[in-house]
Chain A
Amino acid sequence: MADEFIKGLGILTGSGLAWLVLASWYRTSSFESTQQLIEPLSSGATEGLFNIIAVTLMDVFLWFALLGALTFWVLIPAGHQIMSALEERRNAQ
Chain B
Amino acid sequence: MSDNEPENEEIRSDGAGIVAPDDETPTWSERKARKTGLSRLTYEYFERARREDQDLRTESDYVERDVLAFPTWPHETVRNLSIASFFVGMILFLSATMPPHIGNPANPSSTPAIILPDWYLYWSFGLLKLNPLNPELAILGGQKLMADRTYGVLANGVVVGFIAIVPFLNKGSARRPVEQPFWSAVGVFGVVFAMTISLLAIKNLMPMNVDLLFDLTFLLPFVFGTITYAVLKTMREGYMYNLNRRYYRLRPPK
Contact = CB atoms under 8 A, between A and B. Distances in A.
B205 A34 contact: yes
Given A32-B114, A34-B206, 15 more contacts: A2-B38, A3-B32, A20-B98, A21-B97, A21-B98, A24-B97, A24-B98, A25-B97, A30-B101, A31-B100, A31-B101, A32-B205, A34-B205, A34-B207, A35-B207
Interface of B: 32, 38, 97-98, 100-101, 114, 205-207
Contacts of B100: 31
Interface of A: 2-3, 20-21, 24-25, 30-32, 34-35
Which applies to chain B's interface (DSSP): helix, strand, loop or mixed?
A: loop
Nearest to A34: B207
B97 to A, nearest CB: 5
Contacts of B38: 2
17 contacts: A2-B38, A3-B32, A20-B98, A21-B97, A21-B98, A24-B97, A24-B98, A25-B97, A30-B101, A31-B100, A31-B101, A32-B114, A32-B205, A34-B205, A34-B206, A34-B207, A35-B207
The 4 closest A-B pairs by CB, nearest first: A34-B207, A21-B97, A24-B98, A31-B100
A44 B205 CA distance: 27
Nearest to B114: A32
A77 to B, nearest CB: 15
